[in-house]
Amino acid sequence: MNNLHLTNSLSKKKETFKPINPKKISLYACGPTVYDIPHVGNARSLVVFDVLFRILKALYGSNVTYVRNITDIDDKIIEVSQKKNKDIGEITNEVTKTFHDNCKSLNCLSPSIEPKATDHIKEMIEIISSLISKGFAYENQKHVYFEVNSFKDYGKLSNTNLDELKAGSRIEISNLKKNPIDFILWKPSKQKEPGWDSPWGRGRPGWHIECSAMSEKYLGKNFDIHGGGLDLIFPHHENEIAQSCCNNNLKKFANYWVHNGFLTINKEKMSKSLGNIISISDAVKKYSGQVVRLALLSAHYTQPLDWNDDLLINQEKILNKWYNIYQHKEKENNSEVEEILLDDLNTPGFIAKMHELYNEAYKGDEEKKSKFNIALKLIGLFNVSKKEWENSKKSRISVPESYILKKIDERAKAKKSGDFSLADKIRDELSSQGILIEDKKEKTMWKLK
Ligand code: AMP
Ligand code: ZN
């Protein structure tokens, strides 16, 4: 069998994966900040690292530890709690519950450990104290900062040039810092804000120290693979490296850094700040978890993936076809097509191969069908029986998609010609059929009510 290859953001190259200890494989992926409903951009990260976890398990069995944290303390959470006048715990519990429901719909395996940041404040305080005593961090008026100039490798992961960084707008200005590029490790909390006692007064940790503390606790000072979306390379992952390498006197923190590309809408990154998000719950309700999962795997993880109804409709058609030869399989054996995934999680290549296998299996014997089923299960598809699949289709949609698109088109034409009462009538008609339409920047989208 071939070795696993991964694109390592450290070297910007595809490398052979060599574990530190094959009996103790370690994977850490940055989990969600639980302040708002998870969107399909977050789902991409979830599904990519779920596939990686599945492949590692296929290769190394039960010797794989996958840690995915929950960030349940962060300025954004405090902001939402103040805006909604809701208790922080209430918000984080609600969002965490939705997140877990979404993971289940997408058929993601549970990680081995799912630590919450607020359960690890003691570990964070220990690392921060140690960084201060070793001369890598300093306190100023109850704030603690990491001194970036004390770490000579700073910027290597993200190719960030410190001089350019100083001149840019990506850094938070504060006169408490020795240098504008220094970043926060600990900050004081106002009375109403959540806080923990520390040597620097009542306060809370910065976001980056959370992952340094949790990864070290569960995977050790130096571990195999660290993952997350492309947006986390700078500053989050760069800062994690700085904290952990300086504190533990290490050349390397994680050996392989794996980053998924962006999920976009009209070529723009999907993000809460741009207001172009589609929640995982809505996407799954409209198309089902399997269709969403297959769509997320349709592009290579290092590449961008543009999200639109056509993509999803296509994936639904594919699954409809594939379900023609669904078999109930209790046992998931290793599959020959696993090799394709070993090559840097080549999911588009894998899917292309599945089309080939389908054509052979459809006309072929039970064994060929069996191989096809085993392979699909390897990437987390075919997790519901044919009957459930057919039933879920019925509950998802009462009218054909083509009808909805036709109506949307008619409404657009009515609006264009100034016939707003017709446009409203069409919208109301769709609404009575359980379909909500929303006018986005360039396109009208639809979802189930
Ligand atoms: P957050 O809750 O925003 O910290 O994000 C959780 C994970 O989702 C991180 O790994 C992010 O990098 C990833 N992520 C967020 N938005 C996108 C997007 N549009 N495309 C791909 N990954 C994303
Ligand atoms: Zn992180």
Shared domain for 188 and 86, answered yes or no, is yes
Residue whose token pair is 């609404």: 431
Atom of ligand 1 nearest to the CA of 231: 12
Shared domain for 21 and 151, answered yes or no, is yes
Atom of ligand 1 nearest to the CA of 264: 19
Report yes or no: 51 and 377 within 8 Å, Cβ to Cβ. no
φ and ψ at residue 388, rounded to 5 degrees = -60, -40
- Three-class HEC string of 26-61: EEEECCCECCCCCEHHHHHHHHHHHHHHHHHHHHHH
Shared domain for 283 and 231, answered yes or no, is no
Q: Which of 392, 419, 434 is the last residue of a domain?
A: 392
Percent of the chain beyond pLDDT 90? 84
Shared domain for 314 and 402, answered yes or no, is no
Residue nearest to atom 7 of ligand 1 (CA): 42
* CA–CA dist 48, 50 (Å, integer): 5
Model pTM score: 0.90
Strand-by-strand arrangement of the 305-306 sheet: 268-269, 263-265, 305-306
Residue 267's pLDDT band (boundaries 50, 70, 90)?
Answer: very high
The answer to whether the bond into 235 is cis (omega within 30° of 0) is yes
CA–centroid distance, 296 to ligand 1, in Å, is 13
Shared domain for 292 and 362, answered yes or no, is yes
Residue 1's pLDDT band (boundaries 50, 70, 90)?
Answer: low
Atom of ligand 1 nearest to the CA of 38: 2
pLDDT tens digit string along 97-123? 999 999 999 999 999 999 999 999 999
CA–centroid distance, 31 to ligand 2, in Å, is 7
pLDDT tens digit string along 130-165? 999 999 999 999 999 999 999 999 999 999 988 888
pLDDT at 331 over 70: no
Residue nearest to atom 16 of ligand 1 (CA): 41
Shared domain for 142 and 236, answered yes or no, is yes
Tally of domains in the chain: 3
* CA–CA dist 390, 94 (Å, integer): 31
Domain holding 371, by residue range, is: 264-392
Residue nearest to atom 15 of ligand 1 (CA): 42
Average of per-residue pLDDT across 63-69: 97
**To test ligand 1's pocket by mutation, which of 45, 52, 114, 268 has the most ligand atoms within 8 angstroms of CB?**
45
Q: Which of 209, 232, 260 is the last residue of a domain?
A: 260
Mean pLDDT of the chain: 93
Shared domain for 256 and 289, answered yes or no, is no
Q: Could you tell me the two tokens for 10?
A: 């450290």
Please indicate whether residue 227, judged by its CB atom, sits closer than 6 Å to ligand 1: no
pLDDT tens digit string along 68-78? 999 999 999 99
Closest ligand to Cα 37: 1
Please indicate whether residue 102, judged by its CB atom, sits closer than 6 Å to ligand 1: no
Instruction: Give residue 171's identity as a one-letter amino acid code.
Output: I
Q: Read out DSSP for 223-275?
A: EEEEEEEGGGIIIIIHHHHHHHHHHHT-S-SEEEEEEE--EEETTEE--GGGT
Shared domain for 55 and 181, answered yes or no, is yes
pLDDT at 218 over 80: yes
